Structure 1
Amino acid sequence: MYTPIIIFAFNRLDSLKATVASLLMNEESNESDLFIYVDGARNNKIGEKEKVQAVQEFVKSISGFKSIKYFFSEQNNGLGTSIIHGVSKVINQYDKVIVLEDDLIVSTNFLSFMNQGLDKYAKEEKVFSICGYTNKIKVPKSYPYDAYFCTRSSSWGWATWKDRWETVDWELKDWDRYSKMAHAFNKWGGSDCFRMLRSVKEGWGNSWAIRFGFSEFLQDKLSLFPITSKVKNDGFDGSGTNCKKWSRFKYEFDNGNKKEFKYPVEILLNRKLYKSAMSYNTILIRIYSRIMYIIH
């Protein structure tokens, strides 16, 4: 039985069409249940209601999956709230989920990689999530696997299990303790981590992913990433709510047909791969990124 897929959509019809089309190129799609959540239009955005309605009409026409269920919000909840509520609902029924947003294109072996990873590590509590995206990394010639472990789960095409999802403190209730972990959290996941977490607590940010990652940090767990990315993000065209027109993240997209993967036996960090993957989150790279954001 294949893991159910959730897509979170909003007001970008062409982007959603591309995401769905790429999913349908995976032969497992016709045996997979699909759930689609479409967020409501913002009241102060002229023309957005019509864009959202166009997305809703397209969603009603989708076929090619084992089953399709869709949920249309009448109000705008924002991506963070939508994902927390939507994933919680589906994962409570199925115990595991694969999650995509509407600006992601997946490879033809994306569902193979995700489902096999979910099955292999289902009982390995050290593994917090399975990620479809990976930054371009330097792989040691002697490295024998098609995947590696790293800290800080990626939000660009990912999957997890109910027992991991339920450990996340979405309300950051123990903030007195958490607030003392800034240095350790940044060292674990990148120099931007604690600022993002603080933005949620103070109400000027709403990232579900940083709270998910913080739970992973607190529990000293790891996420699985492919050596070659099974996902590419087409959101860096200026149309995405949370994406700029330029990204510091570079990747190599998997255009091959490989369907069986060799996963790491031991659940631990390969120091060379870890260092290469995390280099995208250093302070110098982030400063350069801010300059490029302004230019673009």
Structure 2
Amino acid sequence: MAPVIIFAFNRLDALINVITSLLLNEEAQESDLFVFVDGAREGKVGERELVCSVCRYIENIVGFKSVNYTFSETNKGLGNSVIKGVTEVISRYGKAIVLEDDLILAPNFLFFMNQGLDKYKEETSVFSICGYSNKVKVPKDYSYDTYFCTRSSSWGWATWADRWNSVDWELENFDKCHILKKEFNRWGGSDCWKMLNDWKCGRNKSWAIRFCFAQFLQKKVSLFPVTSKVQNDGFDGQGTNCKRWSRFRCIFDNSAKKEFTYPENVSIHPSLFRSAIGYHSIIKRIFSRIMYFVYRF
């Protein structure tokens, strides 16, 4: 079993939910768990106590093959925490399943992720295995349980050490990347370049957009389930990057199914691609902004 990494912060209830759903996977008892907790932010009243409550809970987690944890004394931010933590674990195991603390996992999540890691380990055109999937329109003649798409999802995902280590996290030659702006957006959605440029300008600290940019440059794909094995529980207004309303709703797999079918070839299905990437279209993003505003009140 691949090790499972969870990045946590100050939300005890959310962490309990993800751990509880993980333990409903029978593969959990064979999986090594690593939990990284970021430190409290300076000047945030009461946050240190919240982080401490998360740490106390983690120290008493049972049900996994092993439980390992790292508690940061300072606030590194999610992006830096993910890069450092995944690098540390994946260098030891050669692969890893990565989660944040606002996810709910299906009972067959770990089976699906491990099977995908095993199946495509030597297929280097596959960059990651994703547990989350948007609600896609499946063609009537499409009989598989999985599909390939370009842009990797950061909501419950897995990869191998060679793919992870191929990412240029610093992008020191960023000025030369501007000529790829339109192509990057066509590849992964209309928000891709803005997110990457915002990272470079210090307006976000996203590790995920840099991961996707590396995937884009290498012309690689990610595997997705037709029925999502992950749902995001962070749409409560408390998550770092989530709001109360989101267009990213899914059909969640509550079954214990463990027989999955895969496309015969690693290739993009045009119809499924349009359906999945459509969630990042300009029209849907504008509609989302309106709904974000409405749900503020």
* Residue in 1 that maps onto 2:153: 154
Query: Where do 1:103-182 residues align within 5 Å?
Result: 103-182=102-181
The answer to which of 240-249 and 67-76 deviates more is 240-249
Between 1:268-277 and 1:256-265, the stretch displaced more is: 256-265
Mapped partners of 1:113, 1:89: distance in 2:
24
User: Cα RMSD (Å) of the superposition?
Assistant: 0.7
- Structure 1 segments of 4 or more deviating over 2 A? none
Partners of 1:131 and 1:113 in 2: how far apart? 9
Name the SS of the counterpart of 2:59 in structure 1: helix
Give the Cα–Cα distance (whole angstroms) in 2 for the partners of residues 243 and 123 of structure 1. 35
Where does the alignment leave 5 or more consecutive residues of structure 1 unmatched? none
1:3 aligned onto 2:17: no
Looking at structure 1, the residues matched to 232 and 256 of structure 2 have their Cα atoms a distance apart, in angstroms, of 20
Matches within 5 A, 1:80-91: 80-91=79-90
> Percent identity at matched positions?
61
Deviation by residue 1:210-266 (Cα, 9 ceiling, x = unmatched): 000000000000000000000000000011111111101121000112112112220
Q: Aligned pair 1:48/2:47, yes or no?
A: yes
Length, aligned pairs only: 295
Deviation string, structure 1 residues 124-154 (Cα, Å, up to 9, x no partner): 0100000000000111122121100001100
| 2:62 partner letter | S
1:112/1:260 contact within 8 Å kept = no
What CA distance in whole angstroms lies between the structure 2 residues aligned with 1:30 and 1:156?
A: 22
1:132 and 1:242 mapped to 2: Cα distance?
A: 19
Report what 2:187 is aligned to: 188
Counterpart in the other structure of 2:97: 98
Partner of 2:78: 79
Q: Which residue of 1 aligns with 2:198?
A: 199
Q: How far is the alpha carbon of 1:157 from its aligned partner?
A: 0.2
AA partner of residue 98 (structure 2): V
Cα offsets for 1:139-192 (capped at 9, x unmatched): 112212110000110000000000000111100112122122111111110111
Verify: 1:247 aligned to 2:243, yes or no.
no
- Counterpart-to-counterpart distance in 2, 1:276 and 1:196: 21
Q: Deviations over 1:40-78 (max 9, x none)?
A: 000121100000000000000100000010000000011
> Could you tell me which residue of structure 2 aligns to residue 220 of structure 1?
219
Counterparts of 2:195 and 2:114, CA distance in 1: 30
Q: Give the TM-score taking structure 1 as reference length.
A: 0.99
Query: Which residue is 2:265 aligned to?
Result: 266
Tell me the residue number matched to 1:284. 283
1:68-125 CA-partner distances (Å, limit 9, x unpaired)? 1000000001110000000000000000000000000000000010000000000001
For 2:43 and 2:260, the matched residues in 1 are separated by 47
Question: Aligned to 1:149, what secondary structure does the other structure show?
Answer: strand
- Please state how far the C-alpha of 1:7 moved relative to its aligned partner: 0.3
> Aligned partners of 2:203, 2:179: CA distance in 1, in Å?
20
Residue 147 of structure 1 aligns with an amino acid whose one-letter code is T
Quick one: which amino acid aligns to residue 247 of structure 1?
Answer: S
Partner SS for 2:84: helix
The separation in 2 between residues aligned to 1:82 and 1:242, in whole angstroms, is 15
174-183 vs 237-246, greater mean Cα deviation = 174-183
The one-letter code matched in structure 2 to 1:21 is: T
Name the structure 2 match of 1:30.
Answer: 29
Give the superposition deviation at 1:201.
Answer: 1.1
Counterparts of 1:291 and 1:182, CA distance in 2: 26
Distance of 2:62 and 2:80 partners within structure 1:
27
Q: Is the 8 A contact 1:113 1:259 kept in 2?
A: yes
Structure 1: distance between partners of 2:185 and 2:44: 35
